[in-house]
Amino acid sequence: MPTALIADDEPLLASHLASRLQQLWPALELVAIVHNGIDAVATLAQCQPDFAFLDIRMPGLTGLQVASAAGRTRVVFVTAYDEYALAAFAAAAVDYLTKPVDDVRLAQCVTRLQQTVRPDIDLASLLAQLQRPAAPGLAWLTVGLADTTRLVHVDEVVYFEASNKYTDVVTASERHLIRTSLKELLPQLAPDRFAQVHRGLIVNLAAVARIQRDLLGRQFIHLKQRSEVLPLSRSFAGQFRQM
């Protein structure tokens, strides 16, 4: 029976990956789910699983550092937005998954892992690639809903709105409060996908339906998935001139 390890510092994502793997590959036995690089190395040494799904950025040791201790274990790297690293993984014939994990892509990965040929891993090349700064772009937000904590992908967010020292995260159907100020949040968002439109608002550009000007010259943003209309400050209006 084939065996596998999952190492990811985001427990919800790790559990989701485990659940999807169980459905796509019932014969695969998960020997452990760990949440940091040190525990991952210890599990590799103790269990010597056939496969390891390793998050790139984990406490203690990175996924690539863990992979250097993988021995004959075949490694699948998991990454949120390290686009420069993906090309390196592909060139080194190492499989990878991007978060959120797509079922079709995961099925392709499973098919590849079921093949008997073990790909060569050029870890030195991959480590050199990851010496460069990570590409900007926050991928996930941890939010609370009643007595439940869950993850919201930034692509789901329609806009962020300042709320004192906190920020409202507004999706198509929900509103959540996170303990991060708008000022702290802005540098973590991909600039080609999110834009500040007011001192208290950041909008997902893909969620904008149109910009409308009233008789007084004031501009307002109409959204595709929500009914509220957002103000567009003059100081931020220049980025929308081509819309």
What is the per-residue pLDDT for 233?
Answer: 92
- Angle at Cα 184 formed by Cα 181 and Cα 185, nearest 5°? 85
Q: Considering 82, 98, 129, which residue would you say is the last residue of a domain?
A: 129
Q: Both 117 and 182 in a single domain?
A: no
106 and 159, same structural domain? no
Q: Please state, rounded to an integer, the average pLDDT across all residues of the chain.
A: 83
134 domain residue, yes or no = no
From 74, 100, 129, the end of a domain falls on 129
Q: What is the CATH number of the domain that holds 160?
A: 2.40.50.1020
Tokens of 25: 């590959």
Q: What share of the chain has pLDDT > 70, as a percent?
A: 81
183 found inside a domain: yes
Per-residue pLDDT, 190: 86
In this predicted structure, the answer to whether residue 135 has a pLDDT above a threshold of 80 is: no
**Assigned domain for 232 exists:** yes
Q: Are 167 and 180 in contact (CB under 8 A)?
A: yes
Residue 198 has pLDDT above 50, yes or no: yes
Asked, for residue 200, whether it belongs to a domain, the answer is: yes
Residues 34 and 108 in one domain: yes
Check: pTM over 0.85? Answer yes or no: no
Q: What is the tens place of the pLDDT at every residue in 83-113? A: 545 544 544 436 778 777 888 889 988 988 8
Give the domain-ending residue among 73, 98, 129. Answer: 129
Residue range(s) defining the domain that contains residue 218: 140-240
Q: Which residue reads 């990175």 in tokens? A: 62
65: its two tokens: 């550092």
What average pLDDT does range 8-26 have in this prediction?
92
Report yes or no: 133 and 100 within 8 Å, Cβ to Cβ.
no
Q: How far apart are the C-alpha atoms of 5 and 100, rounded to whole Å?
A: 18
Whether residues 10 and 116 share a domain: the answer is yes
- How far is C-alpha 113 from the chain's CA centre? 23
Residue 135 lies in a domain: no
Total domains in the fold of the chain: 2
Q: Which of 13-17, 31-35, 147-151, 182-186 has the lowest mean pLDDT?
A: 147-151
CATH number of the domain bearing residue 122: 3.40.50.2300
